[in-house]
Structure 1
């Protein structure tokens, strides 16, 4: 018996009348009568017999009533949109691929919001790697937050904010005081952030264009490690301004303006379209968009008018 016949049988057993069952299913009485004929043929049982002016179910129909009702309710739940009543009803794990620089700011605020509004969600932050679209396409990553390159036409993206670069120095080091000229910047000890372990980066090319060279003393895989180092040494590092502002709450560091014209950083979130309407994903993307804040303060002025070389989705001259 197909699902449509089960639904019709359930309506007949609930209503005890062809006319009322037809009304319940928004069918005409003749159509409901034809459906009853198909049900009788499928079951090999009259299902209903006349008693006075109405119909009464046969013993076989009475025996099937609860089972049919349960099957129809299960099928309805299975085929209905999975829409929890509120974020508090959502229970699942969401994998978010982010640069470590996102965690101290946006990541912390997102965790707070999850605790307040969707405590059944578990956030799994995944470090950036060499893979791009494959993790989104294969479902290994639910959401990708960061600088987005060419991800393919099937991947959805949404701009979150435009960031800038900043020099991060320890608050108690000499670099925190006085004017940070280009020469002083170049002659300082540099901590380079490179997850691939590169010592020479685009920053070296920019400095050479000004006839300067820098001394790289340490290469670390992430911004938090760089911040910890510059907080206790006389070195500096170049990191996104949003990260620099957030990490000042965790360590004795302060951001300073980069004495070079650097391209803006376009931060976006990306996801696969199969999650366009999935409730937990919709809530996550909406919340990320709401919490994602552009850099604030005097160092952020340049983000309002990024260099002409900056393109949406990718910073053309990343410093590290």
Structure 2
């Protein structure tokens, strides 16, 4: 069975609205002869004359009257489907967004983000996940946004934008014997806790320290900055952590600038191409960017 020409629905909608072949042709930018051929095709497709002569004009048949509202609804529905999505109204939005962030993201930026979402979009729920791996597969599945330091070039289907640059600082407990201002010698001679998901004993800080001719003594390795700060708070260990990401966790501790050029990292916002033009997702991205700015 041949598939119907759905373009005829638009023609039929205009014809039934105008009740006049010439005016319908003008609206559709069709010549009178092309419009007459279209009406003939519609009559064959529906098995009904649709419009019949009455004096100088045309009147719709009962079948045409029966179809008029249905055709109009179909055409309007098709126009909506084939149009860009309308911007979502946050106040009426009902949706759950999944965000995956590195160590300290929720503590540093979660409260402000949750408060703003609650204020402007009470029907939106945020679900935070810890970023325990560097792969991008979760973005292809159920993660809406990822906040991370990107070490490798993302795949083509992952979109991103930089959020901010974070600088490493040193942190000790308030009563720590490390003298202020902290010198390179004092920093290097202290006992250090190092944060590494992979369990390595050196990282960006050690590479930045190397040109000074010193090495730090890493005596403890943990899997995140929050754990490093917890150990430093309860001992004489020195933790070296990104400043902005760890602001809440450093409360009540002594923070000092590193006595050598501090390494910096760029924190980026990442999402999958499937949601790039989604208005609700775009709204969330701007909200996260504002919360982190």
Of 228, 235, 238, 1:236 maps to 238
Instruction: Report whether the alignment pairs 1:22 with 2:50.
Output: no
User: 1:261-318 deviations in whole A, cap 9, x for unaligned?
Assistant: 332212222333443322123223333334433xxxxxxxxxxxxxxxxxxxxxxxxx
> Corresponding residue for 1:181?
183
Structure 1 residues 230-289: Cα deviation after superposition (integer angstroms, max 9, x where no partner) = 3344333111111233434xx423421123433221222233344332212322333333
Partner of 1:191: 193
Structure 2 gaps of 5+ residues are none
Matched, 1:62 2:65: yes
TM-score normalized by structure 1?
0.75
Distance 2:168 2:60 in 1: 77
Q: How many angstroms apart in 1 are the aligned matches of 2:271 and 2:88?
A: 24
Deviation per residue, 1:134-185 (Å, 9 max, x gap):
333x244333322112113454332222221011233x33258633333443
- The match for 1:81 is 84
- Answer yes or no: is the 8 Å Cα contact 1:204–1:214 preserved in 2: no
Cα distance per residue 1:177-224 (max 9 Å; x no partner) = 63333344344443332233x15123567667735442424x433323
CA distance in 1, matches of 2:188, 2:34: 85
- Please give the secondary structure, in 2, of the residue aligned with 1:168: strand
- Tell me what 1:309 maps to: none
Residue 108 of structure 1 and its aligned partner are, at CA, apart by 3.1
Q: Judge conservation of contact 1:163–1:240 (CA < 8 Å) in 2.
A: yes
- Distance (Å, rounded) in 2 between the aligned partners of 1:48 and 1:151: 60
1:46 correspondence with 2:49: yes
What's the C-alpha RMSD, in Å, of the aligned pairs? Answer: 3.0
Matched, 1:130 2:133: yes
**Preserved contact between residue 227 and residue 253 of structure 1 (Cα < 8 Å):** no
1:37 aligns to what SS in structure 2? helix
Match status 1:200 vs 2:201: yes
Calculate the TM-score normalised by the size of structure 2. 0.81
Q: Distance in 2 between matches of 1:199 and 1:154?
A: 30
- Greater shift, 264-273 or 173-182, is seen at 173-182
Written as runs of structure 1 = structure 2, the 5 A alignment for 1:1-320 is 1-84=4-87, 86-136=89-139, 138-148=140-150, 149-170=152-173, 172-174=174-176, 178-196=180-198, 198=199, 200-202=201-203, 203=205, 210-217=213-220, 219-248=221-250, 251-293=251-293
Provide the rounded CA distance (Å) in 1 between the counterparts of 2:132 and 2:30.
57
Distance 1:91 1:84, change over 3 A: farther
Extract unaligned runs of 5+ from structure 1: 294-320
What is the match of residue 304 of structure 1?
none
Instruction: Go from structure 1 to structure 2 and tell me whether the alpha carbon gap of 1:73 and 1:153 turns closer, same or farther (over 3 Å shift).
Output: closer
| In 1, Cα distance between equivalents of 2:118 and 2:200 | 40
CA–CA distance in structure 1, aligned partners of residues 141 and 249 of structure 2: 31
SS in 2 for 1:71: helix
Query: Deviation per CA, 1:122-144, whole angstroms, max 9, x where unpaired?
Result: 333332233434333x2443333
Cα distance in 2 for residues equivalent to 1:37 and 1:31: 10
Counterpart CA distance in 1 for 2:196 and 2:70 is 62
Per mean C-alpha deviation after superposition, the further-off stretch among 36-45 and 98-107 is 98-107
Q: What is the CA distance between 1:43 and its match in structure 2?
A: 0.9
Count of matched residue positions in the alignment of Structure 1 and Structure 2: 287
